[in-house]
Amino acid sequence: MNQGVYGNRFAGFNVNDSGEKTTYYLRANLSQSDAVEDLTSVRYVTADSLLRQEARTRRPGDQGFVGLGVSLDPNERLNLSYDARFNASHSKSASQNLNLLETTENIRLSENDNTTQNNSRFFSIQQDLGMQLKLDTIDSEWENKVSYSYNSRGPMPRNIRRPFGRPSTP
């Protein structure tokens, strides 16, 4: 775990065992991440006007992983194996960018506020099934592997708002 207002948190474990004819493993990881970026700047556009910019971006996200596998040797010539991996993530992003054009006497000439929000989800499955057969004593082998993969992206809604304020005329 990291410290701070928006820190990262993570946990995981790994279990495996290997016997004379069987090997297996199981592992899992979970993590939460969160970050924020703040930017403030003031720049002179001309000798009597300046551009003030304030931006804030926050990016929280969750990720998870599970993997498991087993290998079996029923006899000295045959090996059977299975491997599976599951991944999922959900991330967000929100940013706000305020731009102010002002005179050096703090009279506002224009104001532009941009807000963006993104939301993304992802899920995937990978599975492998294998068979290995030793054919003779000179190490000839017959190997078959079947794999399946599935990747899903959820909808990624994006909200963008750009209000623009005109200065009032005295």
Tell me what pLDDT residue 138 has: 83
Residue 136 confidence class, pLDDT cut points 50, 70, 90: confident
Tell me what pLDDT residue 161 has: 61
What pLDDT, in 10s, does the model give residues 147-156?
999 998 766 5
**Does residue 1 belong to any structural domain of this protein?**
no
Number of domains present in the structure of the chain? 1
Q: Which residue, 90, 62, 87, is CA-closest to 149?
A: 87
Q: Give phi and psi for 138, each to the nearest 5.
A: -100, 25
State how beta strands 78-103 and 49-58 pair: antiparallel
**Does residue 52 belong to any structural domain of this protein?**
yes
Q: Which residue, 5, 6, 121, 15, is CA-closest to 64?
A: 121
Q: Which residue, 90, 88, 38, is CA-closest to 60?
A: 90
Residue type, 39: L
Higher pLDDT, 9 or 137: 9
Query: Residue length, the chain?
Result: 170
**Does residue 106 belong to any structural domain of this protein?**
yes
Tell me what pLDDT residue 1 has: 60
Tell me what pLDDT residue 90 has: 92
Both structure tokens of 146: 């079947």
Tell me what pLDDT residue 117 has: 87
Which residues is 106 bridged to in the sheet? none
Please tell me the distance from the alpha carbon of residue 70 to that of residue 16, in angstroms, as a whole number.
10
**Does residue 170 belong to any structural domain of this protein?**
no
Q: Which residue, 52, 54, 62, is CA-closest to 107?
A: 52
Q: Which domain holds residue 47?
A: 9-165
**Does residue 124 belong to any structural domain of this protein?**
yes
**Does residue 142 belong to any structural domain of this protein?**
yes
Tell me what pLDDT residue 131 has: 96
Task: Say whether pLDDT at 169 is over 60.
Answer: no
**Does residue 4 belong to any structural domain of this protein?**
no
pTM of the entire predicted model: 0.70
Residue 160 confidence class, pLDDT cut points 50, 70, 90: low
Helices (H), 67-143: none
**Does residue 62 belong to any structural domain of this protein?**
yes
What pLDDT, in 10s, does the model give residues 13-60?
999 999 989 999 999 999 999 888 899 999 998 889 999 999 999 999
Task: Say whether pLDDT at 133 is over 80.
Answer: yes
Tell me what pLDDT residue 156 has: 55
Please tell me the distance from the alpha carbon of residue 26 to that of residue 16, in angstroms, as a whole number.
6
What pLDDT, in 10s, does the model give residues 76-128?
899 999 999 999 999 999 999 999 999 888 888 888 888 888 888 899 999 99
Q: What angle do CA 52, 58, 63 make, to 5 degrees?
A: 160
Sequence-distant (6+) residues with CB within 8 A of 5 are 36
